């Protein structure tokens, strides 16, 4: 699962995202880097190519390799590694805060699309997964609930019949997977959880896109506010420790 070039990539990735190498700084030559990592140029170059495609470094023929200012140049897919490696607590906090905003808006869109485009099979599957969640919620089975919630979101994305939604969701799932060790405390359920799910099922079954979107919007507004409150406390205690 992890090749040599993966390791080199990860090492350099961490160096950059944790600001151990400043933006604008020049890296040693490929030959020199290959020596330092005890490997050859080809394998090293694989790692460098990846960093370049993430817009973390710039490689120019005859000139060398420079570290870019990833805060300005990076793309959406840099979020997962950034959350893993970023050092400043307040920057991580803001990233998560803004990520929640994006998540709720994307989910709102997916739900809206799913409600308008879902087939009978889609509706059936979503309803089943909602029922399963309600059972897990009553049983207080946290793990099963988390798994089923992911599965339901996946089903909703499928039901939206949108490549756009699927690809966006994949990117967000990457963030979730890479970051899941730290997301346990972020998985909060509001008291309105069961009624939200029931309304959602009904809205999707009736192809009522407007209602589906608006209840999702307001539910996540509430959830996200709770999560941010929890994170603020964590940030405060971390700041006090430092």
Partner DNA sequence: CTTGACAAATTGGTTGAACCAATGCAGCAT
Partner DNA sequence: ATGCTGCATTGGTTCAACCAATTTGTCAAG
Interaction partner, residue 124 (DNA, a copy of itself, none; CB < 5-8 Å by kind): none
**Residue 26 to residue 19: CA distance in whole angstroms:** 14
Binding site for DNA (CB under 7 A): 3-5, 27-32, 38-43, 45-46, 59-65
* HEC-encoded secondary structure of 15-81: HHHCCCCCCCCEECCHHHHHHHCCCCHHHHHHHHHHHHHCCCEEEECCCEEEECCHHHHCCHHHHHH
Footprint (CB under 8 A) of a copy of itself, residues 182-241: none
Question: Residue written as tokens 């990846």?
Answer: 50
Of 128, 20, 138, 118, give the one whose Cα is nearest residue 70: 20
Scanning 22-30, 78-86, 119-127, 218-226 for contacts with a copy of itself by CB under 8 A, the matching segment is: 78-86
In the complex, what is the shortest distance from the CB of residue 185 to DNA, in angstroms, rounded to a whole number? 36
Rounded to 5°, the CA angle 83-86-87 comes to 140
**Residue 144 to residue 84: CA distance in whole angstroms:** 25
Number of residues forming the site for a copy of itself (CB under 8 A): 39
**What Rg, from alpha-carbon coordinates, does the chain have?**
22
Interaction partner, residue 62 (DNA, a copy of itself, none; CB < 5-8 Å by kind): DNA
Interaction partner, residue 166 (DNA, a copy of itself, none; CB < 5-8 Å by kind): a copy of itself
Scanning 69-77, 122-130, 204-212, 232-240 for contacts with a copy of itself by CB under 8 A, the matching segment is: 69-77
Answer for which of 21, 23, 127, 168 binds a copy of itself (CB under 8 A) is 168
Q: Which residues bind a copy of itself (CB under 8 A)?
A: 42, 45-46, 49-50, 53, 55, 71-79, 82, 91, 94-95, 98-99, 101-102, 105-106, 108-109, 113, 162-168, 170-171, 174
């Amino acid at each position: 699962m992890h090749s040599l070039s993966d390791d080199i990539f990860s090492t350099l990735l961490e160096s950059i995202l944790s600001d151990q190498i400043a933006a604008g700084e020049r890296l040693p030559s490929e030959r020199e880097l290959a020596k330092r990592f005890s490997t050859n140029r080809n394998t090293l170059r694989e790692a460098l190519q990846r960093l370049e495609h993430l817009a973390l470094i710039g490689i120019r023929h005859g000139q060398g390799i420079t570290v870019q200012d990833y805060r300005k140049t990076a793309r959406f897919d840099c979020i997962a590694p950034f959350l893993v490696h970023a050092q400043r607590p307040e920057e991580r906090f803001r990233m998560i805060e803004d990520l929640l905003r994006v998540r709720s808006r994307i989910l709102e869109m997916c739900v809206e699309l799913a409600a308008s485009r879902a087939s009978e099979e889609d509706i059936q599957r979503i309803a089943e997964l909602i029922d399963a969640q309600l059972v897990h919620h009553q049983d207080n089975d946290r793990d099963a609930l988390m798994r089923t919630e992911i599965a339901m979101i996946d089903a909703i994305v499928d039901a939206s019949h949108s490549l756009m939604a699927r690809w966006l969701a994949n990117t967000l799932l990457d963030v979730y997977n890479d970051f899941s060790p730290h997301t346990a405390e972020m998985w909060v359920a509001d008291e309105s959880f069961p009624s939200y799910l029931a309304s959602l099922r009904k809205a999707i079954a009736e192809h009522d896109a407007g209602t589906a979107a608006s209840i999702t919007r307001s539910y996540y507004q509430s959830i996200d506010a709770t999560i941010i409150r929890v994170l603020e406390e964590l940030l405060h205690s971390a700041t006090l420790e430092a």
